[in-house]
Chain A
Amino acid sequence: MKGSEAIIESLKAAGVEVVFGLPGGMVIPLYDALYDSDLKHFLVRHEQGAAHMADGYARATGKVGVCVATSGPGATNLVTGIANAYMDSTPMVAITGQARSDLIGTDAFQEADITGITEPIVKHSYLIKNPKDIPRIFKEAFYIASTGRPGPVLIDIPSDIQLADIDYKPAGKINLPGYKPTLKGHKKQILSAAKAIAAAEKPVIYAGGGIITAGAEKELMAIAKLMKIPVTTTLMGLGCFPENNDLSLGMLGMHGTGYANYAVTHSDLLIGVGARFDDRVTGKLATFAKHARKIHIDMDPAEISKNVAIDIPIVGDARDVLAGILAELKTMKREPRKTAAWLDQVIAWKKKHPLHFKDEKGSIMPQYVIEEINRITRSDAIICTDVGQHQMWSALFYTHVKPRHFVSSGGLGTMGFGFPAAIGAKVGCPDKTVIDVAGDGSFQMNIQELATAVCYDIPVVVCILNNGFLGMVRQWQELFWNKRYSATVIECQPDFAAVADAYGALGIEITDKKDVGDAIRTAIKAKRPAVLDFHVKQEENVFPMVPAGKSIDEMIGGHKS
């Protein structure tokens, strides 16, 4: 068997069904083997698209996403996508071709040291030097990518390794002496956490993407209900706790809801689960939840006390740990009214500081578009976004009720992520409505993937909140830089509907508020890729907002006037 065929066998052994990629000289042998295989390959128009598609596929399905690129520029084009997956802990395997083994280090044609380049942004990487190692390395790569705190793993394969003849044997047992993720939480710590929760009068659960990774939504809900604890989620955690539940506080942080930020600030116990106390969540560290004891449950020991000192750390799988805490709580004496006054306070904050926006006559408000998407899809679509204002409006004004239904670039904040991620999500979940909410700036960063969507008939609906600006930067310039809109005005804008049409997708331009709902319904019903170009109010801001370096209860625009 050829090395390239061994790669296909190894992918199949790992349960891979789909691969996103683009060939080049150093992966011709691999693509030749792919030609005869049952694996479904999606040819992208830019390798960055392939990486984001694999990422979106992984987030929507929970399976490992796979992308392929050739050596040199193909591999370097994956870099942003790999970094994005790393920051948001997405399981991904990136396969790259490499120059022939004997040419490595000679500046050969299309040679790039991709294992070196990606070293800080992968969970692990391999450069295959012996074709016999192919089955083992692939097995390890998928194991590492998908277990513990998930992340991207890169496998770099010189072309001669793909061509070599090997005696294929399926990989044996995995032996990684340096990789043993802690799954089970420490019993004593679990008990301490349960005691602290039972004693708390003003507790808040702060839930992140780790809940979704671990599939711990039920355990989270059970604890929140049993102990009557309000729950706020991070951007990555949206959907892990249904926002239509009375205990939901929505998102916290820089653009979090007023009530979430006030609740965290005034809490006496903060229970962080699968979240990493990121600076966009904490604001000024010194005042973050300053009255609260802090419990932190995380898979990754390096996240414990990284930014915020923790009183009760528990390393382990969120589902296992929460189940342990729940079991302890059930055996304890509980006072059902212990948090009653606190919940009344939360309700008062919700009434006083609701999410809101001012409707303006003659304008389409961007928040209104999100509300319409929410209404029409009955909060049941997979929503993908890039980064910026449209992302925050999608986070705030859509009702997130299910896990794996919000696919957004959180940690890296990548413009151009949403659309290819939406394609990946739709490939993984063909029965779901998949909406990509985009900015007019960010959509153009991977607009070429319209060809991929049309070619494979992947009916994703792109909703551009077109305000003619790089909106989030413009907002900062307006608020903190004397409205000096340096390079944030997008002066030359294509006709997006016409562009969509030229690619063979459905394109609709919407300039009147009354057409918003119809356009969304038409696009969803069309069952083909569609681009909706909503001309929204240009200088609208995302509120509430915590200015950089401020405490999270020092919000701008948190009050309804």
Chain B
Amino acid sequence: MKHTLSVLVENKPGVLARVAGLFARRGFNINSLAVGITEDPDISRMTITVDAEEHPIEQVTKQLHKLINVIKITDLDPDRTVARELALVKVKSDAKTRAEVMQLAEIFRASILDVSKKTLTIEITGTYEKIDALEQLLQPHGVVEIVRTGRIAIERGEK
């Protein structure tokens, strides 16, 4: 099962290494990781996605809590969470296919960042699945490179 952990940490050197090291030691593979500062510049948020069963994820969460620089951990409930990723996709496209690729991008509400004679670079924001869907549609044209951020997520509602 995929979990999205939202982890508030002190914005201090070495914190990322401690958190990442803990996952590695306990045998977890981090699917994605996004780090950025929060509304409080002394505090950063890490959004970590991992595949794991309930018991091991509880254990890793407890171990994470033991890190002095970790302030709060939330295992986000997918039904009550809005999650987004961003991807930059460089796809092969010349004068003949440019219109078609641009149309695909438009359907996905993606934007064109760069155009060259033989390529288009597309920026897309959305859920993991949406980005996968666009990528699959672009594959037949030839994806040169794809760069994805980790997932970021926020709980719905007032809190």
A interface residue numbers (CB < 8 A to B): 115-116, 119-120, 123-125, 127, 129, 144, 176-179, 300-302, 304, 306
Whether B62 pairs with A302 at a CB distance below 8 angstroms is yes
Given A115-B14, A119-B21, A120-B21, 17 other A-B residues pairs in contact with their CB atoms under 8 A = A116-B17, A119-B17, A124-B67, A124-B68, A125-B14, A127-B14, A129-B13, A144-B68, A176-B68, A177-B71, A178-B67, A178-B68, A178-B69, A178-B70, A178-B71, A301-B65, A302-B62
The verdict on B89 contacting chain A, using a C-beta distance below 8 Å, is: no
- Residue count of chain B within 8 Å CB distance of chain A: 18
B53 CB to closest chain A CB (Å) equals: 14
The verdict on B48 contacting chain A, using a C-beta distance below 8 Å, is: no
Q: B9 to chain A: which residues have CB within 8 Å?
A: 178
Whether A300 pairs with B66 at a CB distance below 8 angstroms is yes
A299 CB to closest chain B CB (Å) equals: 11
Picked from B10, B25, B63, the residue with its CB within 8 Å of the CB of A177 is B10
A302–B60 Cα distance when bound, in Å, is 8
Closest residue of A by beta carbon distance from B66: A302
Q: B17-72: which have CB < 8 Å to A?
A: 17-18, 21, 25, 59, 62-63, 65-71
Question: Given that A119-B18, A119-B21, A302-B62 are known contacts, is A127 also in contact with B68, CB under 8 Å in the complex?
Answer: no
Number of A-B contacts (CB under 8 A): 37
Closest 9 A-B residue pairs measured CB to CB?
Answer: A302-B62, A178-B71, A124-B68, A179-B68, A178-B70, A177-B71, A302-B63, A301-B62, A178-B69
A177–B17 Cα distance when bound, in Å, is 19
Whether A302 pairs with B59 at a CB distance below 8 angstroms is yes
A144–B69 Cα distance when bound, in Å, is 12
Q: B10 to chain A: which residues have CB within 8 Å?
A: 177-178
A300–B62 Cα distance when bound, in Å, is 9
A547–B138 Cα distance when bound, in Å, is 59
Q: B17 to chain A: which residues have CB within 8 Å?
A: 116, 119
A-B contact pairs, 23 of them (CB 8 A): A116-B17, A119-B17, A119-B18, A119-B21, A120-B21, A120-B25, A124-B68, A127-B13, A129-B13, A176-B68, A177-B10, A177-B71, A178-B9, A178-B68, A178-B69, A178-B70, A300-B66, A301-B62, A302-B62, A302-B63, A302-B65, A302-B66, A304-B62
Q: A178 to chain B: which residues have CB within 8 Å?
A: 9-10, 67-71
Closest residue of A by beta carbon distance from B10: A178
A341–B39 Cα distance when bound, in Å, is 63
A372 CB to closest chain B CB (Å) equals: 43
Closest residue of A by beta carbon distance from B60: A302
Q: A124 to chain B: which residues have CB within 8 Å?
A: 67-68
Closest residue of A by beta carbon distance from B58: A305
B61 CB to closest chain A CB (Å) equals: 9
A125–B14 Cα distance when bound, in Å, is 10
Q: A302 to chain B: which residues have CB within 8 Å?
A: 59, 62-63, 65-66
Q: B68 to chain A: which residues have CB within 8 Å?
A: 123-124, 144, 176, 178-179
B44 CB to closest chain A CB (Å) equals: 12
B57 CB to closest chain A CB (Å) equals: 13
Of listed B10, B17, B65, B68, residue having the most chain A CB within 10 A: B68
